[in-house]
Structure 1
Amino acid sequence: MRRKTKRLLLNWRIILLILFLAGSIATLAVKPLTFGIDISGGVALVAQTEHPVDSDTMQLVVDSLQKRLNTLGLRDITVEAQGDQIVLIKVANVSTAEQANQIKAVIESQGVFYMEFNGVIFGTGSDVEYVGIYQIKPDNSWSVPFRISKSAAEKFAELAKGKVGWPVDMFLDPPVNSLMVVPDSVYRLMNSTEFNAEAPEAPTLMERISKAFNITVVAYANQSADEIAGLAEGKDKIVLVDVPQELQSGLEGMNLTVRYVPRNPGESDHQLIVRVLGLYGPYSLGEGLTIGEPQQDVQITGTAPDRLTAEQEASTIYTVLKSGSLPVKLNVVGMEFISPRLGENFKTQALYAGIAALIAVLLIVYFHYRNWKIAIPVASTSFFEVLIILGFAALINWNLDLPSIAGIIAAIGTGVDQQIVITDELLSGERSTKISRRSSVIKRMGRAFFVIFASAATTIAAMSFLLVYFVGTLKGFAFTTILGVLIGILITRPAYAEIAKYLLGED
């Protein structure tokens, strides 16, 4: 008996189970589980495109927005299209208005990305093929390497030839085809060499945006709403920048599209211009890019007074380049906090339900076989599977939501069925000589595991379809179901078979 027990404990399947159990318990001890928005709470935002779009464009909006939010480090994000104009965004673990407003700002700032030189747009977000990790040097200079398309590189090489030090501008959602009404000091700054990098002879920023985006800039000199409306003829919108706000109501009364931009406290003219235009740069053109030869691998460089500022500047450029381009502008039209109170109640109820389910499995299996040597290992194995799944979820920071928990339950239910298949095969064999009995056990286990692997393969195939082709909550259900099935067939099911053989005297 001792020899059989020792052989069981040294069995590699049992050792593997023990190692995974120990690892899961250790992981859960140092890394608590994180939960999705329907359990931990969060914020739901409803964004609307400026005009209805087709399904392909909407999918591009969803993919680009998901990428932008993920790049900024937000966790447990779901972005789903609702019709041809509405996008629903849910972000878990957000509890303050400040956090929600930051997310809102990110969503609304995600517009069309342009690369412009000498008043010519040579590339957009779709031309950015790759963005490398930014680097910060000891002298607080930074660089962000990236690759542009061949067509953009060829166009830029032709434009930049011989223009060392000229400004290269990047814009995120500039006010294309608009009239900008600005204070006189802002007008003069835009029409100066302030934004010319190292080339005073280059066209001013005002000239560049006029040529590239058809943006007309006028200085406010007490013009009336009618006069401004006359200047805006043929424009898509009017942008009022730090001028009397009463002009807005007058212009909107003429059925004109108006955007009012106040100056933030302490904001300089330079900062105001950068914010209104969505301007990144200008960046000085290096000599290596002015020889007239196309270069797809380029980089943006800059310097900062300290490392923290350098990190912020480099991270901002990296994020903008990485986010790609949206074909339409998004505006957040609704925002709602989801209370975690119901989720806290659910976690308690789920714990009680889990304990009740294990007890039910224990009793049902016992009444079926009338043998505690079968009932206890079956229920214990189900409990071990839950621990390993939760440990893995904690390890990879998987946020558990209601569908994910449903997936765990589905995987456990499948596991109990498979353990009963193993048990029935063990109990169905004849009891003859030791050699024939061992041969019979091997054959019966082969039959049992054939059924188990076939069942697991069909489940994984079905869940993989949900994982790849569906979005939102279905992905959580599919992931945890696949994870539970894999843990079962690779770890717990083989270990249970060894334990059952030992307890039923078939070893």
Structure 2
Amino acid sequence: MKRRTRNLLLNWRIILLTLFLVGSVATLAFKPLTFGIDISGGVALVAQTEHPVDSDTMQLVVSSLQKRLNTLGLRDITVEAQGDQIVLIKVANVSTAEEANQIKSVIESQGVFYMEFSGTVFGTGEDVEYVGIYQIKPDNSWAVPFRISKGAAEKFAELAYGKKGWPVDMFLDPPVNSLMVVPDSVYRLMNSTDFNAEAPNAPTLMERIGQAFNVTVVAYANQSADEIAKLAEGKDKIVLVDVPQDLQTRLEGMNLTVRYVPRAPGESDHALIVRVLGLYGPYSLGEGLTVGEPQQDVQITGAAPDRLTAEQEASTIYTVLKSGSLPVKLNVVGMEFISPRLGENFRTQALYAGLAALIAVLLIVYFHYRNWRIAIPVASTSLFEVVIILGFASLINWNLDLPSIAGIIAAIGTGVDQQIVITDELLSGERSTRITRRASVLRRMGRAFFVIFASAATTIAAMSFLLVYFVGTLKGFAFTTILGVLIGILITRPAYAEIAKYLLGED
């Protein structure tokens, strides 16, 4: 008996299940789950384009909105195209009309794209006449060709003469004519040469945005609201970056326009600066553009460690260039708040429903087999699957919403069916000699897993169709269902088979 127990504990399938289970629990302990708008609360807005657009233009609208809204420091944002005119925007953790109206104004604004060099804006989105398809080379370098207006080309040629390697910046909706209050570490980084490309002697990023956009940057040193308001005289707004949020309330009480930008979890100073400014770059100025000759056809180039990263970088620049001259305007035609209290009720109800389902599985399996040695492992395996799925969701920052939770339940239901198949196959075998019994077990397990893999394949195929071709909440349902099925057939189902063989004396 002790030998059989030791063999079970040392079985690689059991060890694999244990590792994933422990890893999931540790992940959930240190990285709490994030929830979608229907659970955490927020606002949903429906925007409509002025006229129907093709799929490429709609994709640019979606990408551009996602980037603009991210500069607000909002964590859970989903932007989905629905047809050729409707865009659905969901933003979690928004509870006031002021926050919702700020989001609405961003959606309805066309956005402004700037090209800046040495503190001078030489072009805007209106100067981008054409953007070519980006190119990825075998060495994972990339290039995005585009054409600027004659006036912008002439101005840039004059500014760039003899300045090889100097930084060229692009901005999407920067905080023009504002006072930025930032932590000391952010202030020092903006005033360093880290954003100077290959020219340490070029003006710092702080100097460039100050001259180009009249942005004044100050380091937060426990200044009072009155002191900050005095510094902001003549500015259109105050941007508070990763400083005490109570300053926002005090300054807004003084009838000042304030934008508060928190630091995202794990976000570096560099990434925070890039996000707040809407900065893309800096890009090092090539020698061919420093000879003083206006060139309308230019390109932005870069290099990445692998092709996937190169695709992402090139695609981002392509979208930014295109969205700077987006030819369609959006109007918000609907807005709906979802109460955090209602979302909390959803979360509690989902927890109760999950516990009730687990108990129901335990009782139904027991009454079917009249054996707790079967019922308890089946229910426990279902619980393990839930923990591992939630661990994966936490690890990849998947925002759980109600359809996602429904997908988890669907995957668990499929898992229970498959465990019953395994159990029935084990109980159907005859008991003869030890060798015959072992061969019979292998055959029966082979039959069981053939059925399980066939069932899993059809489920994954069906859910993949939803994941690829549908939008909105169906994607969350499809993703968690596929994840649960994969975890089941690769981790929990093989482990359950070993446990069942041990408990039923079939090994």
Tell me the TM-score normalised to structure 2 length: 0.64
Deviation at 1:403, TM superposition (A): 0.4
Give how far 1:105 is off: 3.9
Q: CA RMSD of the aligned region, Å?
A: 12.5
Contact map agreement 1:134 1:143 (CA 8 A) in 2: yes
Q: Deviations over 1:174-227 (max 9, x none)?
A: 999999999999999999999999999999999999999999999999999999
> How big is the shift at 1:471?
1.7
What displacement does 1:416 show?
0.4
- CA separation of 1:364 and 1:133: change in aligned 2, threshold 3 A: same
Number of matched residues?
Answer: 507
- Residue 333 of structure 1 aligns to a residue whose secondary structure is strand
Greater CA drift, 84-93 or 213-222: 213-222
Structure 1 portions without partners, runs of 5+ = none
Cα deviation, residue 331, structure 1: 3.5
Percent identical pairs in the alignment equals 92
CA shift, 1:333, in A, is 4.4
Do the aligned partners of 1:113 and 1:170 also contact (CA within 8 Å) in 2? yes
Q: Report the CA distance shift for 1:322/1:71 in structure 2 as closer, same or farther (over 3 A).
A: farther
Secondary structure of the residue that 2:463 maps to in structure 1? helix
Asked if 1 retains the 8 angstrom alpha-carbon contact of 2:304 and 2:310, the reply is yes
What's the CA shift for 1:69? 3.6
Alpha-carbon deviation of 1:280?
Answer: 11
Distance 1:263 1:6 in 2: 49
Structure 2: unaligned runs, 5 residues or longer: none
Q: 1:93 to 1:3 in 2, by over 3 A?
A: same
Larger gyration radius, structure 1 or structure 2: 1
Q: Judging changes above 3 Å, is the alpha-carbon distance between structure 1 residues 78 and 280 closer, same or farther for their aligned structure 2 residues?
A: closer
Query: Residues 313 and 469 (structure 1 numbering): CA distance in 2 closer, same or farther, change over 3 Å?
Result: closer
Instruction: Report the CA distance between 1:119 and its aligned residue.
Output: 18
Q: Offset of 1:62 from its aligned partner?
A: 2.6
Deviation at 1:14, TM superposition (A): 0.9
1:480/1:183 CA distance change after superposition, 3 Å: closer
Aligned equivalents of 2:368, 2:120: Cα separation in 1: 79
Q: Is the 8 A contact 1:130 1:147 kept in 2?
A: yes
Determine helix, strand or coil for the equivalent of 1:45.
strand
Moved more, 276-285 or 457-466: 276-285
Render the CA deviation track for 1:346-365: whole Å, top value 9, x for unaligned: 22122221111111111111
Distance 1:145 1:99 in 2: 38
In terms of mean alpha carbon deviation, does 331-340 or 87-96 score higher?
331-340
Q: Please identify, of 247-256 and 381-390, the stretch whose mean Cα deviation from structure 2 is larger.
A: 247-256
Contact in 1 for aligned 2:132/2:145 (Cα 8 Å): yes
Question: Cα distance, 1:423 vs. partner?
Answer: 0.5
CA distance change for structure 1 residues 244 and 408 in 2, over 3 Å: closer, same or farther?
Answer: closer
Q: Does 1:367 align with 2:367?
A: yes
1:201 alignment partner, SS class: coil
Cα distance change on mapping 1:74 and 1:279 into 2, 3 Å = closer
Q: Greater shift after overlay, 384-393 or 69-78?
A: 69-78
| 1:48 counterpart SS class | strand
Q: How far has the Cα of 1:299 moved from its partner? A: 10
Query: Aligned equivalents of 2:65 and 2:421: distance in 1?
Result: 47
Contact 1:393 1:399 in 2 (8 A): yes
Q: 2 CA distance for matches of 1:437 and 1:185?
A: 70
Deviates more, 1:89-98 or 1:202-211: 202-211
Distance 1:187 1:71 in 2: 18
Change (3 A) 1:503 1:137: closer
Per-residue CA distance 1:404-424 (angstroms, 9 max, x = gap):
000000000000010011011
**Separation in 2, partners of 1:351, 1:265:** 26
Residues 487 and 479 (structure 1), Cα distance of their counterparts in 2 relative to 1, 3 Å cut: same
Q: Secondary structure at the residue paired with 2:192? A: coil
Offset at 1:431?
0.5
| TM-score computed with the length of structure 1 as normaliser | 0.64
Q: Which moved more, 1:64-73 or 1:486-495?
A: 64-73
C-alpha deviation, 1:82, in angstroms: 4.7
Q: Write the distance in 2 (CA, Å) between the matches of 1:334 and 1:95.
A: 16
Q: 1:101 to 1:13 in 2, by over 3 A?
A: same
Q: Residue deviations 1:372-403, cap 9 Å, x none?
A: 11111111111111111111112222111010
For the residue of structure 1 that corresponds to 2:52, the secondary structure is coil
Cα 1:260/1:332, change in 2 over 3 Å? farther
**Higher deviation after alignment, 71-80 or 342-351:** 71-80
CA separation in 2, counterparts of 1:246 and 1:493? 52
**Alignment deviations for residues 6-37 of structure 1 (CA, whole Å, 9 cap, x no partner):** 11111111111111111212222222221110
Contact 1:403 1:476 survives alignment (8 Å): yes
Return closer, same or farther for 1:163/1:19 CA change in 2, 3 Å cut-off: closer
Cα deviations across residues 70-90 of structure 1 (Å, max 9, x unaligned)? Answer: 576543322233554432211
* Aligned equivalents of 1:4, 1:126: Cα separation in 2: 75
